[in-house]
Amino acid sequence: MSYEKVLQAKSYIVGTKQTVKALKAGDVSQVLVAKDADPKVIGKVIHTAKEVNVPIIHVDSMKKLGKACGIDVGAATVAIKK
């Protein structure tokens, strides 16, 4: 499952602003996006990922994605660094 990608990753970025910044810098190999996140919040991440041809993996839950990152709150997006 996709949540395991976060657990296996050596380095990742949590949050939409930081994800967009890393995408533009070319530091990202994959982006995980929670399906239950607000479309306004994740829209820029999805647009930027498509722009720079980075694969987007959709996961079901912000809460589970946050937990996979080791944080107590939900995460809308997580970028797996190269």
6-50 confidence digits (pLDDT tens): 778 889 999 999 999 999 999 999 999 999 999 999 999 999 999
Query: In total, how many domains does the chain have?
Result: 1
In this structure, how many other beta carbons lie within 10 angstroms of the beta carbon of residue 51?
10
What CATH number corresponds to the domain at position 59? 3.30.1330.30
The b/e string for 13-38 (b: 16+ C-beta within 10 A; e otherwise) is bbbbeebbebbeeebbebbbbbeebe
Say if residues 49 and 23 touch (Cβ distance below 8 Å): yes
47-69 confidence digits (pLDDT tens): 999 999 999 999 999 999 999 99
Q: Cα(65)–Cα(67) distance, rounded to whole angstroms?
A: 5
Q: What is the pLDDT of residue 10?
A: 83
Residue 5 has pLDDT above 60, yes or no: yes
* Residue range(s) defining the domain that contains residue 38: 3-81
pTM of structure:
0.90
